Chain A
Amino acid sequence: MKDIIRVKSLISADVETLLNQQIKKEAQSSSAYLSMASWCDRNGFDNSAEYFFKQAEEERQHQMKFFRYVLDMGGTALSPEITNVKIEYNSFREIFEEALDQEISVTQSIKNIAARCHKEQDYVTVEFLNWFFKEQREEEYKARRALELFDLIGEEGTGRWEIDKHVGKIHYGNEAGE
């Protein structure tokens, strides 16, 4: 009896499901960042708004990367429905706290996919995921750095204005320690 399933698809049904969940997670991240950009813009934090616009674009690219991978491997990529996108935030700081939480949750979720891939020896998908691990290193670093500005500069007086000025300058070198 031929192995039709393997001929049709490189990834297993379980990995396909996890990748589709990740597609949705990246789309949710993109929407959340867009919402954060909107709030920052409305409240006069122009540099932060710009920073979140860029993050929103990046998340969309991540979503597309996963999407095309699922299709390329013979799977069915699902276009996700995104609901309950937050509009209001309690403070400038809360936005950056949520941004970091979101990045941590994305890293954990990709780790979970990799664990499943190792279990079924799907090293092809593991190799694909490696790009994202490197990306998450940068994403978490930037989100953490942004949040640190609140403690470093302080929010009193022109503090928030100063924080906003520095958000646009956060940069991560390609290699750790750079």
Chain B
Amino acid sequence: MQNTTLEVSTHLAEVYSTVKGAVYQSDSEKCWYVDFAGKMAKFDYRNILKLKKAIYAIDIEEILLNSSKTADVEIVFICACEHCYVLTLLEIISFKELLEGTFVMLSLNQILHDRLYRIAA
């Protein structure tokens, strides 16, 4: 158990985390690991953008105002990606928060790269 934790920590860098989940980046695999809703899912560049688009596109307000008796769950299916999420309204809100934080950190990382290695160097 200790070994796995150690391996994960050296291999993956945490991009952003909340109490509900976390997103890690693997430099060697050029991908992200999304730990959310009880599973760890791997996303490459294309797919993480598709995930972002799918989650951001959910109209949270509309679900809140919707008085019909149907269950408040949303199925998020990402084309050409093996992962699928079945999320409750609260999970959608936390997932959105996690992804928003992640993309802010990724743009910050880009600014850092520009400043430290690309422009100054």
Is A3 on the interface with B (CB-CB < 8 A)?
Answer: yes
B-side interface size class = 10 to 19
Verify B25–A1 contact, CB threshold 8 A: yes
A76 to B15, CA, bound (A): 24
| Chain B interface main SS type | helix
A76 neighbours in B (Cβ, 8 Å):
46, 49
A-side interface size class = 10 to 19
Is A169 on the interface with B (CB-CB < 8 A)?
Answer: no
Residue from the list B31, B45, B109 in contact with A1, Cβ < 8 A: B109
A6/B110 contact (C-beta < 8 A), A1-B15, A1-B25 known = yes
B27 neighbours in A (Cβ, 8 Å):
1-2, 4
A6/B45 contact (C-beta < 8 A), A1-B13, A1-B25 known = no
A8 neighbours in B (Cβ, 8 Å):
45
CB distance from B77 to the nearest CB of A (A): 18
A153 neighbours in B (Cβ, 8 Å):
none
Is B54 on the interface with A (CB-CB < 8 A)?
Answer: no
A1 to B113, CA, bound (A): 9
Chain A, Cβ-Cβ closest to B112: A3
Is A85 on the interface with B (CB-CB < 8 A)?
Answer: no
Verify A13–B25 contact, CB threshold 8 A: no
A13 to B52, CA, bound (A): 11
Chain B, Cβ-Cβ closest to A7: B30
CB distance from A6 to the nearest CB of B (A): 5
A13/B30 contact (C-beta < 8 A), A1-B25, A3-B110 known = no
Verify B15–A4 contact, CB threshold 8 A: no
Chain B, Cβ-Cβ closest to A3: B113
Verify B45–A2 contact, CB threshold 8 A: no
CB distance from A176 to the nearest CB of B (A): 37
A2 to B45, CA, bound (A): 13
- Bitwise, B6-48 to A at CB < 8 A (1) or not (0) is 0000000101000000000101001100000000000001100
A33 to B35, CA, bound (A): 50
Verify A3–B45 contact, CB threshold 8 A: no
Is B73 on the interface with A (CB-CB < 8 A)?
Answer: no
Query: 10 more A-B contacts (CB under 8 A) besides A5-B45, A8-B45, A76-B49?
Result: A1-B25, A1-B27, A1-B109, A3-B109, A4-B25, A4-B30, A5-B110, A6-B110, A7-B30, A76-B46
A-B contact pairs, 20 of them (CB 8 A): A1-B13, A1-B15, A1-B27, A2-B30, A3-B109, A3-B110, A4-B25, A4-B27, A4-B30, A4-B31, A5-B45, A5-B106, A5-B107, A6-B110, A6-B113, A7-B30, A8-B45, A9-B45, A76-B46, A76-B49
4 tightest A-B CB contacts, nearest first: A3-B113, A2-B27, A8-B45, A1-B13
Chain B residues at the A interface, C-beta cutoff of 8 Å = 13, 15, 25, 27, 30-31, 45-46, 49, 106-107, 109-110, 113
